[in-house]
Amino acid sequence: MSVEKSKAEIHIIGRNRRASFEFHLMDRFEAGLVLQGTEVKSLRQGRADLTDSFARIEGEELFLHHLDIPIYSHGTYSNHEPKRRRKLLLHRREILKLKGRVHERGLTLIPTQIYFKGNYAKIEIAVAKGKTHGDKRQDLKRKEHLQEMARYRSR
């Protein structure tokens, strides 16, 4: 008898929409988050802001900085700090791979979305390179061109 694995349901909490506009996104990794109880409850309410957050490798560990998870409304004195540094969970070989890319090529690690996969909070981290002003203009022109083509087709 074969046992089929049921796919864990993914519930997206927040996305970093500015990331694709500000950066060229390359490889993407899924990482777990080390959270406190009130942070999980706040995330379950769908409250998180990825706008100014970034990941940094410190030693042989990966940390997420400036992820804003608002204070849980029904929390007590043991509520969490909203923009604290949070540890990310990746395999050691993945962290070493990221460390090499970030230090050698001048790339950065940007979170693109945060979600629940089953009962676990996950975050998608992308290796990114900053765009120049000209790159952003090209992207806008390409987007406008695609919109015009779509309008023309719908006629």
Q: pLDDT tens, 53-105?
A: 889 998 889 999 988 888 777 766 777 777 788 899 999 999 998 888 888 77
Question: What pTM was computed for the model?
Answer: 0.75
Side-chain-side CA neighbours of 97 within 13 Å: the count stands at: 10
- Number of structural domains (the chain) is 1
**Is residue 1 a part of any domain in this protein?**
no
**Is residue 2 a part of any domain in this protein?**
no
**Is residue 3 a part of any domain in this protein?**
no
What lies within 8 Å, CB to CB, of 79 at 6+ separation is 38, 71, 72
**Is residue 46 a part of any domain in this protein?**
yes
**Is residue 4 a part of any domain in this protein?**
no
Q: What is the CATH number of the domain that holds 45?
A: 2.40.280.10
Question: Helices (H) and strands (E) in the chain — how many of each?
Answer: 4, 7
If you average pLDDT over every residue of the chain, what do you get? Answer: 84
**Is residue 59 a part of any domain in this protein?**
yes
